[in-house]
Structure 1
Amino acid sequence: MIYMTYRQAISYIYSLEEERINLGLSRIKSLLTLLQISPEVLKVIHIAGTNGKGSVAEMVSNILAYSGYKVGVYTSPHLKDFRERIVIKRFIARKDSIDRELIPEKKLVALVREIKPLVERIARTKAGRPTFFEVTTAIMFAYFIREKVDFAVIEVGLGGRLDATNVVSPLVSVITNIGLEHTDRLGKTLRKIAREKCGIIKRESTVVTADCNPEVLGVIRKVCSQKKARLIRVRKFAGRIFTPAVRFYKFRHFHARQQSFDYYGSKYRLKGLAIPLMGEYQLANASCAIAALECVDSLRLTPGIIRKGLRYAKWPARLEVLRKAPFIIADGAHNPPAARMLKKAIEKYFKYENLILVIGILNDKDAKGILGCFLPLASKVILTRPFSPRASIPFNLASLLPPVFHSDIFIIPDPAEGLKYAVDIAGRNDLVLVTGSLYLAGAILKK
């Protein structure tokens, strides 16, 4: 087998980004067959949705780890290190905390060396070369199976039906919410996108969703009916009668960067739960996490473990406060639904004189829609470029801005320099918001 360094392994994985996103399951199934591994052996919580997938994965895996389980966690994209995508969590009793181990460099290199000739073998067939995400997903499955994790919490990459992760038979599936995204691949309407995301629903399985849009719910209900799957809904409590198929949450208060809420479920009715993640949407995400775990009968959970798992959840670049005076906030909102939720949270939680927007967006995103959410808040706009080959050129973003902003637009392609300039011109009572892409947030957090 050819010698390979860690840098060479990562370079090889990234070279596969040149392959256009090509949804389908044939290549991932071929890779797994050649690797002689079967995802069916994993106990999976499978998470899809437009926004909130990573937050739900973090809270589900935290609760499981605090319960003493060895938990594999697969999320994307990463912020600073590719290995953040593939993590194993364990509870360390002597520290009373969770150890989050990124896939070790040596094991990643060994897996890339093993998988590379298989990728080239498949590339010579009619199926074509496996993509970046398919290869990363195959590496994840091989690593989690060989490390004998107790549970695998797996986030869908794109869509659901044809996503490379959709080769599992999950204990429970979660569809956080559904909005217009990736319309070029998933469909131009909410109904079509919902159908694609509902592709993760398996026959006679259990599905949890926090989506309240009647159009989306109609699709989810129809698919569940066709597949005889049980649907559990998560909703904000509004004094309604409890039903077996609905779980409720109720906001209590916000204090010291912690949200407190009550949860009303089938097994647990928990008051005064706390999460360090801001935004009311995170209450829905936390409730989805609890509701999903309530559906797994074999789990040894206690109210205390659930409280602990939520209280110590960490999910960077989601309304993350990096500094005060002036406030610097990083958030990876990369589609209009996420941008709207972020805007609402900024207005609810922060008081400031001027907002300086540092924004960079990928060219396959709805840049006009994202900008439209933030421009009413901004007094100045700094257009920059995330570190991604898919990043929009700042001058192209500038062409989407209304003329009224032209005197307050600054084009600074380097994200670190853009943030530095924003901080330099900000007053102590101002707020600097870095958003538009997780790739941009990751570049800022690296600095």
Structure 2
Amino acid sequence: MDRNYVEALQWIHSRKQFGIRPGLFRMEYLLEKLGNPQHELKVIHIGGTNGKGSTVTYVKELLQNSGLVVGTFTSPFIESFNEEISINGHHISNDDLVYLVNKIKPIVLEMDRHEDVNGVTEFEVITAMMFTYFYEQKVDVAVIEVGLGGLLDSTNVVKPVVCGITTIGLDHLQILGDTIEKIAEQKAGIIKENCSVVTGNIGERALNVIVQKARSVGATIYRFNEDYTVHHILSEHLSREYFSFTNKEQQFPILYTTLLGKHQVENAGMALQIYFTFMEKCQFDVNREIICESLNNAFIPGRMEILSERPYIITDGAHNIHAMKRLQNNIQEMLAKTDKGKLYILFSAINTKDVSGMLHLIEEIQYEEFIITLFDHNLALTIEDYEKCGYSHVAINWEEAITSILNKMDKEDFFVITGSLYFISTMRTKLKELCNSIVSF
């Protein structure tokens, strides 16, 4: 691997020492030194507790297939760091990444000398790289995923054409607040004057906060199953979801997506409303012919991702209570579609989540075998952490745990690997190799 690229990545990751530092003053200072590239972009800003990455992916496909040059910013990466910053699905090149680090690093090091703006974080560096890259590459639209929260997230320095809030759940309580209303207030912080807001399947208490914020700044709001409607269509198909979509101008009796789960249907419907809203506000022509193809082409690794269909082997980064509840529902729906097959589950998590609650949801599922394992990450739970949750049997080596399960499975069985997205990222490539060597598809 190119030495300059390795050194650039090492410098980016060295900023992890400053942790998570909510606030915009460092970001605004850094971007001002870079000429405020974020102000020159048409932006779609996507926040929410879960579903952000999938919604970004759907929106990207719709816009790209409409002939636009689309920049996307998502995190965390699953396979390679470069995938966090992409244009039309092509990850930023190593050379461009090195160029951006060389441009931004001197400014950051200078900021470190000043007490009021020092300690620029890793995510702030990456965000500045993204804005600069998209501006210099002249993208038609940047679809940007919020990192954490919204109001004080480093991406929240833009005035979006459209913003979306997917879901609201109890997550990152120490930073965002310990009630649904407090978290909703943070997520609603991305709503700006005169932008349009599209909401996903959000409970009444949180939605009231979002509606109030939208009204206070004169933003137009489009609500799930009120201003646009999505209906999940039940099907025996295990690797595709069907649904209908309707708003005041558009109607699609049947659409489908290969991203699995009822929540992916909701994400797809929200993405469609974002797409129609953006195209209208920017006076771009909508091409109905590309809708089906775009939704079907959407792919995001590690989110209800099927690696094999005989047996079914699925990875899903259900990394918090809200996501685990949806995974629980998805598994139960899949098992209900067939009267054959046993269920095996492998799980690992990090210490910033409500792991006890996630484990409780897994225990409610009728499984053949459930294994907790460890993985190499500074936030990964230890054997002692799991023992405190009441689990004394923990597989130290996740590769051996996977191999053990694969060797027990029949063609009709299901194997779900879940928990932290960092865990999914760590084991996904090796899992694919193990599947190919052990399972005859």
TM over 0.5: yes
1:229 corresponding residue in structure 2: 219
Deviation at 1:145, TM superposition (A): 0.4
User: Retained in 2: the 8 A contact 1:270–1:303?
Assistant: no
1:411 corresponding residue in structure 2: 395
1:391 corresponding residue in structure 2: 380
Aligned pair count reads 420
The alignment status of 1:247 with 2:228, answered yes or no, reads yes
Is 247-256 or 43-52 further displaced after alignment? 247-256
1:92 corresponding residue in structure 2: none
1:367 corresponding residue in structure 2: 355
Is 276-285 or 354-363 further displaced after alignment? 354-363
Question: Taking structure 1 as reference, are residues 146 and 386 closer, same or farther at Cα in structure 2, changes over 3 Å only?
Answer: farther
Mapped partners of 1:106, 1:331: distance in 2: 32
Structure 1 residues 271-286: aligned runs within 5 Å: 271-286=253-268
The amino acid across from 2:246 in the alignment is Y
Deviation at 1:4, TM superposition (A): 6.2
Deviation at 1:65, TM superposition (A): 0.4
Structure 1 residues 83-94: aligned runs within 5 Å: 83-89=82-88
Mapped partners of 1:28, 1:394: distance in 2: 38
Deviation at 1:25, TM superposition (A): 0.4
Where 2:44 maps in the other structure, the secondary structure is strand
Question: Taking structure 1 as reference, are residues 43 and 373 closer, same or farther at Cα in structure 2, changes over 3 Å only?
Answer: same
The alignment status of 1:11 with 2:1, answered yes or no, reads no
Deviation at 1:256, TM superposition (A): 5.5
The amino acid across from 2:96 in the alignment is K
Mapped partners of 1:215, 1:410: distance in 2: 39
Question: Taking structure 1 as reference, are residues 326 and 401 closer, same or farther at Cα in structure 2, changes over 3 Å only?
Answer: farther
Structure 1 residues 4-403: aligned runs within 5 Å: 5-89=4-88, 100-125=89-114, 126-235=116-225, 246-254=227-235, 255=237, 257-296=239-278, 297=280, 298-350=283-335, 351=338, 353-377=341-365, 378-401=367-390
Mapped partners of 1:163, 1:387: distance in 2: 27
User: Retained in 2: the 8 A contact 1:382–1:422?
Assistant: no
Where 2:223 maps in the other structure, the secondary structure is strand
User: Retained in 2: the 8 A contact 1:186–1:193?
Assistant: yes
Question: Taking structure 1 as reference, are residues 180 and 272 closer, same or farther at Cα in structure 2, changes over 3 Å only?
Answer: same
User: Retained in 1: the 8 A contact 2:170–2:183?
Assistant: yes
Gaps of 5+ in 1: 90-99, 236-244
The amino acid across from 1:115 in the alignment is I
User: Retained in 2: the 8 A contact 1:56–1:289?
Assistant: yes
Question: Taking structure 1 as reference, are residues 6 and 247 closer, same or farther at Cα in structure 2, changes over 3 Å only?
Answer: same
Q: Over residues 248-274 of structure 1, what are the superposed CA-to-partner deviations in whole Å (9 max), with x where a residue is unaligned? A: 011224336121211101321112111
The amino acid across from 1:432 in the alignment is F
Deviation at 1:206, TM superposition (A): 1.0
Q: Over residues 108-132 of structure 1, what are the superposed CA-to-partner deviations in whole Å (9 max), with x where a residue is unaligned? A: 0111112112111112222221111
Deviation at 1:358, TM superposition (A): 1.1
The amino acid across from 1:396 in the alignment is D
Question: Taking structure 1 as reference, are residues 434 and 38 closer, same or farther at Cα in structure 2, changes over 3 Å only?
Answer: same
The amino acid across from 2:401 in the alignment is G
Scaled by the length of structure 2, the TM-score of the pair is 0.91
User: Retained in 1: the 8 A contact 2:374–2:394?
Assistant: no
1:95 corresponding residue in structure 2: none
User: Retained in 1: the 8 A contact 2:257–2:296?
Assistant: yes
User: Retained in 1: the 8 A contact 2:230–2:266?
Assistant: yes
User: Retained in 2: the 8 A contact 1:157–1:164?
Assistant: yes
1:444 corresponding residue in structure 2: 427
Q: Over residues 343-371 of structure 1, what are the superposed CA-to-partner deviations in whole Å (9 max), with x where a residue is unaligned? A: 10111013454332211111111111111
